[in-house]
Amino acid sequence: MTQTITVIRGDGIGPEIMDATLHVLDALKTGLSYEEADAGLVALEKHGDLLPAQTLESIKKNKIALKSPLTTPVGEGFSSINVALRRHFDLYANVRPAISFPNTKSRFADGVDLITVRENTEGAYLSEGQEVSADGETAVSLTRVTRKGSERIVRYAFDLARATGRKKVTLVHKANIIKSTSGLFLKVGREVAAQYPDIECNEMIVDNTCMQLVMRPEQFDIIVTTNLFGDILSDLCAGLVGGLGLAPGANIGTEAAIFEAVHGSAPDIAGQGKANPCALLLAAAQLLDHVGQPENATRLRKAIVATLEAKDSITPDLGGTGNTMGFAKAIASRV
Ligand code: NAD
pLDDT digits (tens, 9 = 90+) for 80-117: 888 889 999 999 999 999 999 998 878 887 889 999 99
Q: What percent of the chain has pLDDT over 70?
A: 98
Q: 85 and 159: one domain? A: no
Q: Is 69 in the pocket of ligand 1 (CB under 6 A)?
A: yes
Among protein residues, the one with the nearest Cα to ligand 1's atom 5 is: 266
Alpha-helical segments (H) within the chain: 14-28, 41-47, 53-62, 81-89, 147-164, 181-193, 206-215, 227-240, 278-290, 294-310, 324-332
The pick from 9, 71, 263 for probing ligand 1's pocket by mutation, whose C-beta has the most ligand atoms within 8 angstroms, reads 263
Burial class for 141, CB neighbours closer than 10 Å (0-12, 13-18, 19+): exposed
5 assigned to some structural domain: yes
CATH number of the domain enclosing 189: 3.40.50.2300
Q: Which pLDDT score is estimated for 1?
A: 67
Q: Is 15 in the pocket of ligand 1 (CB under 6 A)?
A: no
Summarised one tens digit per residue, pLDDT across range 140-163 is 999 999 999 999 999 999 999 999
pLDDT bin (cut points 50, 70, 90) of residue 244 is confident
Q: Is the pLDDT of residue 76 over 70?
A: no
Distance between CA atoms of residues 191 and 171, nearest Å: 12
Q: Is the pLDDT of residue 127 over 90?
A: no
Q: 133 and 232: one domain? A: yes
Summarised one tens digit per residue, pLDDT across range 17-58 is 999 999 999 999 999 999 999 999 999 999 999 999 999 999
Q: 137 and 216: one domain? A: yes
Distance between CA atoms of residues 304 and 308, nearest Å: 6
The alpha carbon of 179 and the centre of ligand 1 are apart by a number of angstroms equal to 36
Nearest to 82 by CA among 251, 305, 318, 277: 251
Q: 212 and 259: one domain? A: no
224 assigned to some structural domain: yes
- 51 phi, psi to nearest 5 deg: -135, 80
- Paired with 204 in beta bridges are 172
Q: 77 and 137: one domain? A: no
Among protein residues, the one with the nearest Cα to ligand 1's atom 31 is: 71
Domain housing 3: 1-103+245-334
- Where in the sequence numbering do the catalytic residues fall? 125, 174, 207, 231
The alpha carbon of 313 and the centre of ligand 1 are apart by a number of angstroms equal to 22
User: What is the spatial order of strands in the sheet that 248-252 belongs to?
Assistant: 33-36, 4-8, 64-67, 257-261, 248-252, 93-99, 113-119, 222-225, 168-173, 200-205
Q: 201 and 254: one domain? A: no
Tell me: ipTM over 0.90: yes
The alpha carbon of 60 and the centre of ligand 1 are apart by a number of angstroms equal to 26
The alpha carbon of 177 and the centre of ligand 1 are apart by a number of angstroms equal to 35
Question: Contact, 274 vs 132, CB < 8 A?
Answer: no
131 assigned to some structural domain: yes
- pTM higher than the cut 0.90: yes
DSSP-derived secondary structure letter, 143: -
219 assigned to some structural domain: yes
Total domains in the fold of the chain: 2
Angle (CA) 113-98-125 rounded to 5° is 130
pLDDT bin (cut points 50, 70, 90) of residue 61 is very high
Q: 231 and 188: one domain? A: yes
Q: Is 260 in the pocket of ligand 1 (CB under 6 A)?
A: yes
Q: 64 and 132: one domain? A: no
Question: Contact, 267 vs 9, CB < 8 A?
Answer: no
109 assigned to some structural domain: no
CATH number of the domain enclosing 69: 3.40.718.10
33 assigned to some structural domain: yes
Q: How far is CA 307 from CA 106, 110, 321, in A?
A: 17, 16, 14
Name the domain boundary from 225, 240, 255.
240
User: Identity (one letter) of the amino acid at 83?
Assistant: V
Q: Which pLDDT score is estimated for 2?
A: 84
Q: Is 245 in the pocket of ligand 1 (CB under 6 A)?
A: yes
What's the chain's average pLDDT?
A: 95
116 assigned to some structural domain: no
